[in-house]
Structure 1
């Protein structure tokens, strides 16, 4: 089993749900149904990518070539898309480079494991929210559904999540003993500017955490969860 990423061109902003449908069609070899179009950025991306991480040769086995490569198999390439199967052991170091490279070439990069679409800088809004999970890739322009799924994936191993605004304000959550709370509990912090505006609360229900993150993503100042917020200043 591999960790996969897919890259293609979108002329405008699309949702992660739309990207999921495109990815499925590409995996089914249905380019027409996927709706992807040829773009010079795809070819430039592929050249730069394979210059940095050469594709496996057709005779590659379990020898040094495979051990030194991030690829788990051959790339699926056309003039309109690239699908990259990575070894899980190399994904942490290679996947962020792939996402960044796609952005530099004006392409979207889809992560089917988390159902997250990484958009190029030109398609991100000025109020884009950065989402940093404990496990997985950072998202520079997180949609509400992506944020909701990230909260749902919090676990003992994937135990924290940070949602950041471009001005440095943030909302973060830690789950369980790693965050200094009981098993199943959630420690939530938010900071609005200077240190004296840094607060913390402890919650027992995942739905409460999801509601707070939804509030924050929408830009509201009225917290929907009745909780005791203690100053950390």
Structure 2
């Protein structure tokens, strides 16, 4: 099994559900049905990508030189898209570079593992937060459903999540023993600038954590969960 990413051009911001359907059509080989459009940016992206990470066919028959390539198979390429299957052992180092390169060329990058669409800077909000999970890729300007899924995926191994607006302004959660809590506990911290405005609460319901993250992402002035916030100052 490989860790896959797909890149194509979108003229405007589309929901993740639409991106998922596009990706599924592309995986089925139905480029026309996927609705992706030919873009010179895709060709430039592919050229720069393979300059940095050569295709398997460019290595020495899977000999020692194959270690230079993170791919597990040939890339699926058309004039309108690129699908990249990479080894899980190389994903941590390769995937962020792929996302960044796509963004520089004004292309979207879809992560089917997490059901996340990484958008180029032009499609992001001016004061949008970023989402940083314990496991997986950082997401700029995440959709509400992406944030909710990230909360639902918290586990003993994937135990923290940070939603940050700018340096020192964030909402974060730690789950279970790694956060110094019981297996079903959630420690939520909220900070707005300095330590004098750093607070913490402990919850046992995942739905409540999800609600707090939805509040913060929406820029709400009050919390929808009735809980006690203790100052950490």
What TM-score, normalized by structure 1, do the two folds share? 0.97
How far does residue 59 in structure 1 lie from its aligned partner after superposition?
A: 8.2
How far does residue 60 in structure 1 lie from its aligned partner after superposition?
A: 6.0
Partner Cα distance (1:222, 1:65) in 2: 57
How far does residue 155 in structure 1 lie from its aligned partner after superposition?
A: 0.3
Q: Is contact 1:132-1:163 (8 Å) kept?
A: yes
Range moving further from structure 2, 217-226 or 128-137? 217-226
Correspondence for 1:155:
155
Partner Cα distance (1:27, 1:184) in 2: 38
Q: 1:118 to 1:59 in 2, by over 3 A?
A: closer
How far does residue 191 in structure 1 lie from its aligned partner after superposition?
A: 0.5
Partner Cα distance (2:156, 2:203) in 1: 16
Q: Is contact 2:7-2:81 (8 Å) kept?
A: yes
Partner Cα distance (2:52, 2:189) in 1: 40
How far does residue 10 in structure 1 lie from its aligned partner after superposition?
A: 0.4
Deviation readout 1:93-134 (Å, 9 max, x if unpaired) = 000000000000010000000000000001111121100000
Q: 1:44 to 1:58 in 2, by over 3 A?
A: closer
Point out 4+ residue stretches in structure 1 off by more than 6 angstroms. none
Secondary structure in 1 matching 2:154:
coil
Partner Cα distance (2:95, 2:31) in 1: 24
Q: Is contact 2:56-2:62 (8 Å) kept?
A: no
Range moving further from structure 2, 56-65 or 142-151? 56-65
Correspondence for 1:95:
95
Partner Cα distance (1:187, 1:177) in 2: 10
Unaligned runs of 5+ in 2: none
Unaligned runs of 5+ in 1: none
Q: What RMSD over aligned residues (CA atoms) do the two structures have, in Å?
A: 1.3
Secondary structure in 2 matching 1:155:
coil
Q: 1:191 to 1:80 in 2, by over 3 A?
A: same
Correspondence for 1:192:
192
Number of equivalent positions: 233
Deviation readout 1:138-185 (Å, 9 max, x if unpaired) = 001111000000000000000000001136410000001111111110
Partner Cα distance (2:7, 2:231) in 1: 44
Secondary structure in 1 matching 2:139:
coil
Q: Is contact 1:56-1:65 (8 Å) kept?
A: no
Q: Is contact 2:53-2:68 (8 Å) kept?
A: no
- 1:118 and 2:133 correspond: no
Partner Cα distance (1:66, 1:176) in 2: 40
Equivalences for residues 3-42 of structure 1 within 5 A = 3-42=3-42
